[in-house]
Amino acid sequence: MMPIRVAHSPDSDDAFMFYALAKGKLDTGDLEFEHVLSDIETLNREAFQGTYEVTAVSIHAFAHLDDRYALLDSGASMGDGYGPVVVAREEIAPERLSEVTVAIPGTLTSAALALKMWNPRLTTTVLPFDAIIPAVQNSQVDAGVVIHEGQLTWESDGLRRLVDLGEWWAERNAGLPLPLGGNVIRRDLGDEMMTRIAGLLRQSIEYSLAHRGEALGHALHYGRGLDREKADRFVGMYVNDLTVSYGERGRRAVREFLEQAYEQRLIPRVPRLDFV
């Protein structure tokens, strides 16, 4: 058996996506998939070392990783008219945000990149993604960018929305989705193995979409307090047709996101985009 480590976030959408592989629903032949769970910023950092054969990374981080990894056509997290949300305890006028500190869930996250594209003058500080809402509530920071389930819970946590970065991106780019995360595969596996693994990952996503009830039951274990209704909504936001395949619209969104970031001198180059 050939071990293939697949690293991804311990949240409900990734758990839903990889359900079929994690629970042996697919015939993987001589490939043995091992799932490694970690927060996205840690995965971004590990990818610089080439630690895992397949890993989730932020599209922002991929701008630095294309020499070692290729972007897979399946597994994207795209905010289609929605995305990371900047929240605060009280309303803050947009022009005043440059005077306060905004917490971000990691310097290599796409949320951090989108925030800087929205307002390059912001002062930021890094906190773990699940510490941002409590930090805003407790006045540790003035505002914060929430990702994952926090995009659905910020209001019940007593916070105010200052901007939805996915909405902002769509308005600026003729309705294109905001690229947030993607799956990448190590190039040293070779073209044949990369293609084979890519096919199995796509099958896993398609299986979950076709068996939504059982896959959602598995995903609920990773929902961090979401009830079934909210977990189903969150999974629907980030596991959909764009996850099965970027398609032309999704690929165009990735290129635009990275090209615009490069034009603003926020990334060193536009990476090679293969979409295996």
Q: Which amino acid is at 243?
A: T
Query: Which among 60, 64, 148, 211 is annotated as catalytic?
Result: 148
Three-state SS for the chain is CEEEEEEECCCHHHHHHCHHHHCCCCCCCCEEEEEEECCHHHHHHHHCCCCCCEEEEEHHHHCCCCCCEEECCCCCEEECCCCCEEEECCCCCHHHHHHCEEEECCCCCHHHHHHHHHCCCCEEEECCHHHHHHHHHCCCCCEEEECCCHHHHCCCCCCEEEEEHHHHHHHHCCCCCEEEEEEEEEHHHCHHHHHHHHHHHHHHHHHHHHCHHHHHHHHHHHCCCCCHHHHHHHHHHHCCHHHHCCHHHHHHHHHHHHHHHHHCCCCCCCCCCCCC
Q: Is 211 among the catalytic positions?
A: no
Closest residue by Cα to residue 115 from 159, 162, 56? 162
β-pair partners for 86: 145, 163
Task: Bin 126: left if φ > 0, else alpha if -120 < ψ < 50, else beta.
Answer: beta
Separation between Cα atoms, residue 60 and residue 34, nearest integer Å = 25
CB 219 within 8 A of CB 19: yes
Catalytic residue numbers read: 148
